[in-house]
């Protein structure tokens, strides 16, 4: 993305074939291991906002598309469109771009980035017109309140609707100007409140199911008082992911992190309940997710690296993609 933005800012052509290859690799890797890429979406959280947002949103888009069963061709179009949708922001005044609250005039100026993106990319014959169509409509909204055309409902393509949802989610979890991401549950709640209004309800529900209520990388507190980080999803039981426990019930750092597979724990607990050796109230569950930074002693990046590199293949993948 740094290379692409640099070329665009100097009015040089985008290396379309390279971009397509990167997204094809991304699609292939997500199909093999979605958790690795959910982690990758957090690797560069400290980078400049637009760059890191483009990368994260593209990853969320491919995860979303994988979940609902898009074809490989559509996954590629969606991934490329989401990755390149913000190139037009290079034509927006930096002061306008950095504003947390824009007045009406500044907001109108900011919204021109969509047309700028379309104009820049349309000039390149290597860019798939379907990709440009997604970019042109990703800020449209289900109720017609979006821009630039005020399209509504089915007049917005499915891929553009999906791009809009992942854009909202990533901007909600990583707001501009914030030093720390926001707890995913807050972003999910905001998105859910907009179902049937700004975003198609069915797609909102599918996206939430795709990423889980506690996406990989989320810091959580268990009903035992222990604190950990979600390291892997259990795709048939979204509320029962694998959690690396790092703080005990008194919020003291464990000498060695402990992996807790909540799906396996639930299976064992159910057997104990059936035998009358345990009550339902004693079951271990996720109590809540935690705002990043609430417990400074929780080093999510270190947990990520240790967990991924332990498996070898995922570690090699992460290393290659973050160079």
222-271 pLDDT tens trace: 999 999 999 988 878 888 999 999 999 999 999 999 999 999 999 999 99
**Least confident interval from 7-11, 205-209, 241-245, 311-315:** 311-315
pTM for the whole thing? 0.76
- Distance from chain centroid for Cα 318: 16
Residues 190 and 230 in one domain: no
Residues 225 and 85 in one domain: no
> Of 22-26, 158-162, 282-286, where does the model show the most confidence?
158-162
pLDDT band at 160 (very low <50, low <70, confident <90, very high): very high
C-alpha dihedral (264, 267, 268, 272), degrees to nearest 10: 160
* Cβ atoms < 10 Å from Cβ of 121: 25
Long-range contacts of 268-271, Cβ-Cβ distance < 8 Å, separation of 24 or more: none
Exposure string for 26-65, b = 16+ CB within 10 A, e = fewer: bbebbeebbbbbbbbbbbebeeebbebbbbbbbbbbbbbb
Find the mean pLDDT for residues 145-170: 97
| 237 vs 16, more confident | 237
**Least confident interval from 39-43, 89-93, 212-216, 254-258:** 39-43
Residues 179 and 268 in one domain: no
Find the mean pLDDT for residues 3-7: 71
Residues 66 and 189 in one domain: yes
Residues 78 and 149 in one domain: yes
Mean pLDDT over the full length of the chain: 85
Residue 180 CA to residue 298 CA, distance in Å, equals: 14
Residue 46 CA to residue 34 CA, distance in Å, equals: 22
pLDDT at residue 221 is higher than 90? yes
- Give ∠ CA 82-86-91 in degrees, rounded to 5: 160
Q: Which two tokens stand for residue 89?
A: 């922001």
Q: What domain count does the chain have?
A: 2
Q: At what angle do helices 129-137 and 72-84 cross, to 10 degrees?
A: 60
171-180 pLDDT tens trace: 998 887 766 6
Cα distances from 249 to residues 225, 228, 303, in angstroms, run: 4, 11, 19
Residues 89 and 186 in one domain: yes
| 29 vs 69, more confident | 69
**Residue 221 phi, psi (nearest 5):** -115, 130
Q: Domain span at residue 204? A: 2-211
Share of the chain above pLDDT 90, in %: 50
pLDDT band at 203 (very low <50, low <70, confident <90, very high): very high
Domain boundary, last residue among 211, 239, 273: 211
**Residue 198 phi, psi (nearest 5):** -85, -30
273-285 pLDDT tens trace: 999 999 999 999 9
Q: Which two tokens stand for residue 67?
A: 């979940």
Q: What is the pLDDT of residue 22?
A: 78
99-151 pLDDT tens trace: 878 999 999 999 999 999 999 888 878 788 999 999 999 999 999 999 999 99
Find the mean pLDDT for residues 49-63: 85
Q: What is the pLDDT of residue 68?
A: 95
Residues 36 and 163 in one domain: yes
Verify cis geometry, omega within 30 degrees of 0, for the bond prior to 307: no
Residues 243 and 159 in one domain: no
Contact of 122 with 151, CB cutoff 8 Å: no
Question: Which residue is it, tokens 């490989």?
Answer: 72
pLDDT at residue 45 is higher than 50? no
Cα distances from 159 to residues 63, 122, 155, 171, 258, in angstroms, run: 13, 18, 12, 18, 40
Residues 20 and 73 in one domain: yes
Residues 113 and 230 in one domain: no
Q: What is the pLDDT of residue 185?
A: 83
Q: What is the pLDDT of residue 90?
A: 82
Residues 233 and 135 in one domain: no
């Amino acid at each position: 993305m740094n290379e692409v933005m640099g070329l665009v800012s100097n009015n040089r052509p985008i290396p379309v074939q390279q971009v397509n290859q990167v997204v094809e690799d991304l699609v292939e890797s997500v199909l093999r291991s979605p958790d690795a890429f959910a982690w990758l979406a957090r690797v560069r959280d400290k980078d400049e906002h637009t760059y890191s947002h483009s990368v994260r949103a593209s990853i969320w888009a491919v995860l979303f598309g994988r979940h609902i069963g898009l074809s490989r061709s559509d996954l590629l179009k969606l991934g490329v469109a989401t990755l390149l949708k913000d190139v037009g922001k290079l034509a927006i005044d930096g002061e306008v771009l950095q504003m947390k609250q824009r007045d009406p005039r500044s907001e109108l100026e900011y919204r021109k980035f969509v047309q700028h993106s379309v104009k820049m990319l349309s000039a390149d014959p290597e860019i798939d017109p379907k990709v440009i169509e997604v970019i042109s409509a990703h800020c449209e909204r289900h109720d017609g309140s979006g821009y630039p055309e005020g399209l509504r409902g089915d007049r917005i393509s499915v891929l553009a609707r999906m791009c809009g949802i992942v854009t909202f989610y990533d901007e909600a979890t990583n707001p501009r100007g914030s030093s720390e991401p926001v707890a995913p549950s807050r972003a999910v709640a905001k998105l859910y409140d907009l179902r049937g209004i700004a975003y198609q309800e069915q797609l909102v529900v599918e996206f939430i199911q795709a990423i889980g209520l506690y996406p990989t990388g989320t810091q959580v507190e268990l009903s035992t008082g222990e604190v950990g980080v979600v390291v892997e999803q259990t795709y048939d039981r979204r509320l029962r992911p694998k959690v690396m426990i790092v703080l005990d019930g008194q919020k003291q750092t464990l000498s060695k992190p402990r992996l807790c597979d909540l799906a396996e724990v639930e299976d064992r607990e159910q057997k104990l309940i059936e035998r009358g050796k345990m009550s339902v109230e004693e079951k271990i569950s996720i109590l809540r997710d935690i705002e990043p930074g609430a417990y400074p002693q929780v080093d999510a990046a270190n947990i990520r690296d240790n967990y991924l590199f332990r498996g070898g293949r995922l570690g090699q993948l992460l290393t290659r993609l973050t160079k």
